[in-house]
Structure 1
Amino acid sequence: MESTLTVLQVSLYHPTLGLVAFAKVPPQLRHDTSRLLLGRGQDAHVQLQLPQLSRHHLSLEPYLEKGSALLAFCLKVLSRKSCVWVNGLPLRYLEQVPLSIVNRISFSGIQMVVRREGGASLEAFVCYFHFSSSPLIYRPKAQETDEWENIVKKETSPVLGEATHDLLGSPQGSSQTQTAGSSQALEEQEK
């Protein structure tokens, strides 16, 4: 009786090249428990068609966690040139991180989501590749607020002969610095 295999569901997206970047990626790949290489090289198990990638850009390395009967995986960066982001953590050459059940990975414009489904087999695992036409990783954009405008409006234009103050209340153009204690004393005197 054959044991069930650990499954990696891998979704891929590239914003400009789309499916062209993944033309040589098979829909399904069964692999032994050696490391799985991703890159542009002919000997990479998963070939990605991007010139800025290294021949061996990164690897998924299966291992057995202590006290567990299921395969776990870590991602290791093999590229000297670029950074790989895993769940918001930047990794550089030869750095690695264990993968959780769901992982968001981005590198060289590629967005990749890897979902691990446990299986009992310790001899092999299988990857199912899915190709997306829309982004997989949502990055919230900075929101504009009018906070700065409110602060600036509170400042009054100087009357002729008065010193101007910056946003912290220090005189502009003055080379003097004040300690926290002396600035507090000045504020109390002004009240």
Structure 2
Amino acid sequence: MERPLTVLRVSLHHPTQGMAAFTMVPPLLQHDTGPLLVGRGQDAQLRLQLPGLSRRHLSLEPYQEEGSAPLAFCLKVLSRRGRVWVNGLTLHYLEQVSLSPVNRVAFSGVQMLIRIEGGDSLEAFVCCFHLSPSPLIYRPEAEETDERQHIPQEPTGPDRGSGLQVPWGFSQALPRQGAALPSQAQGQE
């Protein structure tokens, strides 16, 4: 009995080049478990006709996680000059990231949405390509901020008692110095 193949459903969009960038994209591509190359070069399995794209821009690389049957995938950047945005992360040359079941990817103006539908076969996978006339990503650049949001702090001083810094508007909710916090009063940490 033949095992079902993992399917990558890949939607593609380019805001300025439109469908012309995707003339070499087949509707369906079955690939062995080697890396699937994306770029404008002759050896790329997914060839895109874009001048700013490297011959080997990125690869989708299948692998098997220990103790797991279906294939997993990572995306690896192969372009020295280009960067690739994946689910909020900006990747540079030779950086890679594991893909989740749904992924938003942007590079060289291309917007790509990759959905992974797991199968049991470890010998091949299938890519189904869809060309989208509409944008797939509405915020394709990663934010260059810290994970924690900056919240303005009230000034502290001897008249504040506890020395705790609290966000504006929350000072009324703090207990007075020496008072037990609700979690402490209930014996919780």
TM-score with structure 1 setting the length? 0.73
Q: Show the counterpart of 2:132.
A: 132
> 2:112 matched to 1:112?
yes
Counterparts of 1:80-159 in structure 2, within 5 Å, are 80-139=80-139
Cα distance between partner residues in 2 of 1:138 and 1:105:
11
Q: Show the counterpart of 1:158.
A: none
Unmatched 5+ stretches in structure 2: 141-155, 158-189
Give the AA of the match of 2:11. S
| Superposed displacement of residue 66, structure 1 | 1.2
Secondary structure (helix, strand or coil) at the match of 1:129 reads strand
Counterparts of 1:58-69 in structure 2, within 5 Å, are 58-69=58-69
Secondary structure (helix, strand or coil) at the match of 1:16 reads coil
Q: Show the counterpart of 2:174.
A: none
Residue deviations 1:135-159 (CA, integer Å, cap 9, x gap): 001229xxxxxxxxxxxxxxxxxxx
Larger Rg: 1
Secondary structure (helix, strand or coil) at the match of 1:19 reads helix
Secondary structure (helix, strand or coil) at the match of 2:122 reads coil
Q: Show the counterpart of 2:23.
A: 23
* Percent of aligned pairs with the same amino acid: 72
Aligned residues: 145
Q: Show the counterpart of 2:10.
A: 10
Question: RMSD across aligned C-alpha pairs, in angstroms?
Answer: 1.8
| Superposed displacement of residue 25, structure 1 | 0.6
Counterparts of 1:146-185 in structure 2, within 5 Å, are none
| Superposed displacement of residue 28, structure 1 | 0.3
Secondary structure (helix, strand or coil) at the match of 2:12 reads strand
Cα distance between partner residues in 1 of 2:131 and 2:8:
14
Residue deviations 1:86-119 (CA, integer Å, cap 9, x gap): 0010000000000000000000100000000000
Cα distance between partner residues in 1 of 2:138 and 2:84:
16
